[in-house]
Structure 1
Amino acid sequence: MPDATPTRPGRWSRVRSAVRTWVDPLVVMIVAVFVLGLLAPASGAFATGLDHVTTGAVVLLFFLYGARMATSDVWAGLRNWRLQGGMLASTYLLFPVLGLGAQLLPESVLPGDLQTGLLYLSLLPSTIQSSVVFTSIARGNIAGAITGATVSNVLGIVLTPLLVGLLMSRAGGPVGGSAGATLLQLLLPFVAGQVLQPWIGGWVRSHRPVTLLTDRGTILLVAYGSVSEAERSGVWDDLTVGVLAVLLVVCAVLLGLMLLATWSGGRLLGLGRRDRIALLMCGSKKSLATGLPMASVLFGPVAAAGVALPVIVFHQLQLATCAVIARRLAATDPEDERATVPA
């Protein structure tokens, strides 16, 4: 009789383990801040303060990446021509082809301004912050992700406006300030961390909860800020449930095709697992932080609102999807025995 009592804790333990396996805490938090942004968007002084906090979080994030990464790994990432070439081909060749394919949808299915937004989305550079964060969570090549995503953004300052002018018949010059933001918020903190790495690198690497908090906190701040901005600008006002559903499906198909192409393409290129993770995370994403400011310059105010919506929807979708994928990849990492236990 006494031997029968322990069965209940064992059953509940298995249930909790299953829940932890299939319900990703980061996805739950992303959905939560998305809903919060819709119901209580940041505005006024709070929105200004949120912008400053988010900028500070991004600066800290890349400083810590620089501090914990060996300089030899950074140079190795830059010299990895297969990885870097795969990222650029995914971002500026394959993705635009899919964006052009989306233009074949009839307007009765998806309005023309949203089709234009999907094409514009496909021409954007890769996002840096979330690509690097998810590469880190998945235990991929962080150095390769940082160098690849940064190169993508620097080239995108010129390439995106040129591609917009070529494919969308709307000429536009390079966006002023984007290069400065990339330099001040991303490259300089990373270089500063590299300079101090010999002295503080060991401490940073031994305190993983600090980097984990910074990684995930930055993602949540960016997500809440982007939804708040969309809600304040009225992007959602004229959107019907049916149109939103179609847009979500199309964005999901685009993301799914890019995830499949980058993961399979990494194998065809002969990349190792860590490099394939970096290609997967960087080659499948598009930058909201670059896309929205560029839209305000390249399009008129009315057109910019419609163009921005697919960028925002895709951004939230890529965060939620890649959070799950990153955690699954980490849980199946053959080089880390801890990875077999779901966090």
Structure 2
Amino acid sequence: MARPKFLPDNFSLMIVGMLLLATFLPIHGQAAQIFSHLTDLAIALLFFLHGAKLSREAVIEGITHWRLHLVIFAATFVLFPIIGFVLKPIIEPLLGQQLYLGVLYLCLLPSTVQSSIAFTSIAKGNVPAALCSASASNILGMFITPFLVGIFITQHATGQHSSNLGSALNIILLLFVPFILGQLLRNKMVPFLTKYKSSVKMVDQGSILMVVYSAFSAAVNEGIWHQVSIMTLIYLLLTCAGLLAIAMLLIRFGSKKFGFNEADQITILFCGSKKTLASGVPMAKILFAGQPFGLILLPLMLFHQIQLITCGILANHFAKKRSGSQ
């Protein structure tokens, strides 16, 4: 029996499990340092597998549709940051500085890959263009997101000047280099990836769960649950839902105004409104190294679940609408 579309998926439930585990059994001291190094290795393996799974042929097929990609990139890296920054006078008093920084951080992240393509396919959108745009968003996001964090968060929001060069170097070594190696070894890796799909999925999800557990263990040790009340969590949930609604409405309106056909409008909507948990969690570990970042990750994890539910409902709606019109 299929899972009802309004219920959390298994991965979301596992994330909640990591939050509970960190709450009652946080890791600390020497064990936390060792676990952090193991997490780095898992992240490098994650991005190696991402590189090996990415089809160059499909990317080339969709890359010529430059107007569509430009609009999606503008939604991802311009519209979202502007919305997050403009709403600061409303969001920060409700949530506090750290949670607001988490909301702002998710606004600076690239799009998802797998779910953007999956929802575009269900809704009968332009799948090759979705694959190209979402993949490029993730690759370029390894560099654009740290740059935007330096502009919107590191200097202006926190008043701190962290080493952008150090963060960029860590991004290259831990994320980009493994990704490129995966691309170079793709032909040799495809049979393995096909044969051991479940194991690859475990690595994908396991590395993210490790970062979540490590981050929230540090946050619990710093007293996170004394800082966040039930009402604050409700405000955060409403903030994430409102942010997604505003972005989707503007993206939908803009894609119509630019004269894109329905298939391209669907692609722009799903690729331009999504924010990646898979890349966002590892990047947060690097960009906010040396400071508790559990609170910064919390908005992203809530937004992740909200976007999956919303896009699932919309994808089915578009699929029925387009099937009826053909």
Do both share a fold (TM > 0.5)? yes
- Does 1:287 find its partner at 2:287? no
8 A contact 2:255–2:268 mirrored in 1: yes
1:39 matched residue in structure 2: 24
The 5 A counterparts of 1:122-141 are 124-126=108-110, 131-132=112-113, 134-135=115-116, 141=130
The 5 A counterparts of 1:1-343 are 16-17=1-2, 22-75=7-60, 80-82=65-67, 84-105=69-90, 110=94, 113=97, 117=101, 120-121=104-105, 124-126=108-110, 131-132=112-113, 134-135=115-116, 141-164=130-153, 168=157, 170=159, 172=161, 175-259=164-248, 261-262=250-251, 269-270=260-261, 271=264, 277-282=270-275, 287-291=280-284, 294=287, 311-324=296-309
User: 1:183 Cα deviation (Å)?
Assistant: 1.5
2:322 matched residue in structure 1: none
CA distance in 1, matches of 2:184, 2:81: 38
User: 1:221 Cα deviation (Å)?
Assistant: 2.5
Classify the secondary structure of the residue corresponding to 2:46. helix
2:323 matched residue in structure 1: none
Q: Look up the equivalent residue of 2:40 and give its one-letter code.
A: T
CA distance in 2, matches of 1:180, 1:257: 34
8 A contact 2:36–2:214 mirrored in 1: yes
Q: Deviations over 1:227-271 (max 9, x none)?
A: 223212333323333333323322332234335545665676553
Cα 1:161–1:137 shift into 2, 3 Å: same
User: 1:78 Cα deviation (Å)?
Assistant: 5.9
| Range moving further from structure 2, 170-179 or 23-32 | 170-179
Q: Deviations over 1:143-182 (max 9, x none)?
A: 5323212313312333332345886594746523222222
Any unmatched runs of 5+ in structure 1?
1-15, 298-303, 335-343
Q: Look up the equivalent residue of 1:281 and give its one-letter code.
A: K
Any unmatched runs of 5+ in structure 2?
122-126, 320-326
CA distance in 2, matches of 1:80, 1:170: 40
Larger-Rg structure: 1
Q: Calculate the TM-score normalised by the size of structure 2.
A: 0.72
Q: Calculate the TM-score normalised by the size of structure 1.
A: 0.69
CA distance in 1, matches of 2:317, 2:97: 41
CA distance in 1, matches of 2:95, 2:54: 46
Classify the secondary structure of the residue corresponding to 2:164. coil
| Range moving further from structure 2, 255-264 or 143-152 | 255-264
Q: Look up the equivalent residue of 2:49 and give its one-letter code.
A: L
1:338 matched residue in structure 2: none
CA distance in 1, matches of 2:198, 2:318: 19
User: 1:317 Cα deviation (Å)?
Assistant: 0.5
CA distance in 1, matches of 2:277, 2:204: 19
2:324 matched residue in structure 1: none
8 A contact 1:63–1:192 mirrored in 2: yes
- CA RMSD of superposed structures (Å): 4.1
Equivalent residues, number: 307
| Range moving further from structure 2, 181-190 or 244-253 | 244-253
